[in-house]
Amino acid sequence: MAGKLFARSQKKTVFIACTLIIFLLALATGCMGTKDQGDIVIGVAWPFESNNSLFREGVELAVKEINQAGGIKGRKIQLEMKDDQASVALGMAIAQSFAQEQQVAAIIGHRNSFVSIPASRIYEEAGLLMLSPASTAPELTQNDYKFVFRNVPSDDEIAKEMATFCSQQGQKRMVIYYSEDSYGVGLANSFEDHAKKEGIKVVDRISYYGDKKDLERLHNKWQALDFDGIFIASGMPEGAEFIADGGQVGIAVRYYAGNTMDSPLLHELGGKAAEGTVVGTIFNPDDTRMEVKSFIESFTKEYNQPPSAYSAQGYDAVKLLEAAIGQAGDADAAALADHLRGLKDLPGVAGYHSFDQHGNDVGDLVVIKTLRDGEFQL
């Protein structure tokens, strides 16, 4: 009798223990916030405090519109924003923190290529999708990563379009001025490669000049080489300051540049010497498509100012994730990556988006503008 009572007691104890384990597992799963139920959490990494450029506003507007329309298959989007301060160390720490959060479905960010490139390794190893709206360095997508994307044209794509345009403008012998960083070196190399294909000879490349006297000496050298244009692969304010100095030493050829020169600083710092500068950039606010008109109207109404190019990039990044999640049916990273690569000519406010196998956005996104009378014109 005592043996039977002991056996019953053991069975009861095992039953209670199993029930408790099942309860704890269910509770843990609920606390983790799985990606296939509840709100869809999207992480955003950007130097908000120091260099927001109306990017946050573009992201938030897209999320507001999606949530007001009922979300994605009934699920609302929740944003988790972190400021990387344009710091490699902090950017990597943020990437690691996102990777450890089970509920985060995807990351929009980072802005700077020198932050995105090391952070991308962390996202890839964690199996977490990253979509950068601003990092243009070719190196970002040259590692055959499965989960790393960008919805901005790469420096190589911008360089290709600019080399074609330079050729159409009759440029034959050009100089390249570049900055010694991942952006400057990558853009300069890409432009030189594409210029060669277009029959343009790069007669000299420089990344530094001591002073205006040194620049005058270089100008004399370039004149002897019969140069007819300069391509600038540098950011602000250095690029505009180079143009201003060039004007003071008598450089009178046409300047061409990448998207970082698409800034009011070009006119403010470059002055008269910057007139006629051509930039390969992103987002055309004068586009007559309904998507663009509606976006500008909604943004201006919401924030009492027109959107920037980065507003458009942030807005489109959210909409691209919406499309991928909607097609995939959930927020699984592998499914999202497959569906992003499957998107072709998706209309956005920054242009038509299409992704190649490497995660590059190769859609119709590059816009060519010229600075005239202090304003950029198509």
pLDDT at 182: 79
pLDDT tens string 129-158: 999 999 998 999 999 999 999 999 999 999
Task: List the alpha helices (DSSP H) in the chain.
Answer: 2-32, 48-51, 55-68, 88-99, 113-126, 155-168, 182-197, 212-224, 238-248, 265-270, 290-303, 309-328, 333-342
pLDDT at 36: 55
pLDDT at 173: 98
CATH superfamily of 40-153+287-365: Response regulator (3.40.50.2300)
pLDDT tens string 196-214: 999 999 999 999 999 999 9
Backbone angles phi, psi at 297, to 5 degrees: -65, -45
- Looking up tokens 């960008």, which residue turns up? 150
Cα torsion angle, 120, 124, 126, 131, sign: positive
pLDDT at 287: 93
> How far apart are the C-alpha atoms of 24 and 19, rounded to whole Å?
9
pLDDT at 35: 52
pLDDT, average across residues 234-248 = 96
Give the start-to-end residue ranges of the domains of the chain: 40-153+287-365, 156-284+368-377
pLDDT at 9: 47
β-bridge mates for residue 255, sequence order: 230
The gap between the terminal CA atoms of the chain, to the nearest Å, is: 95
Which of 337, 335, 328, 376 lies closest to 356, judged by CA? 337
pLDDT band at 330 (very low <50, low <70, confident <90, very high): confident
pLDDT at 335: 94
pLDDT at 144: 94
Say yes or no to pLDDT of 13 above 70: no
Does an H or E element contain 370, and which? strand 366-372
The two tokens of residue 367 are: 């816009």
Give CATH for domain 156-284+368-377: 3.40.50.2300
Q: Which residues contact 314 (CB under 8 A, 6 or more apart)?
A: 55, 56, 57, 58, 59, 62, 108, 133
User: Which of 9-23, 72-86, 246-260 is least confident?
Assistant: 9-23
β-bridge mates for residue 78, sequence order: 41
If DSSP states are collapsed to H, E and C, what string results for 197-214?
HCCCEEEEEECCCCCHHH
How much is the pTM? Answer: 0.82
Peptide bond into 358 cis (omega under 30): no
Say yes or no to pLDDT of 2 above 60: no
Task: List the alpha helices (DSSP H) in 169-211.
Answer: 182-197
Say yes or no to pLDDT of 37 above 90: no
pLDDT, average across residues 114-118 = 95
> How far apart are the C-alpha atoms of 335 and 187, rounded to whole Å?
32
Does an H or E element contain 148, and which? strand 148-150
Q: Report the percentage of the chain scoring pLDDT > 70.
A: 90
Say yes or no to pLDDT of 25 above 60: no
Can 40-153+287-365 and 156-284+368-377 be said to share one CATH topology?
Answer: yes
Beta-carbon count within 10 A of 88 CB:
16
Q: Which residues contact 154 (CB under 8 A, 6 or more apart)?
A: 136, 137, 138, 140, 141, 360
> How far apart are the C-alpha atoms of 238 and 209, rounded to whole Å?
12
pLDDT band at 310 (very low <50, low <70, confident <90, very high): very high
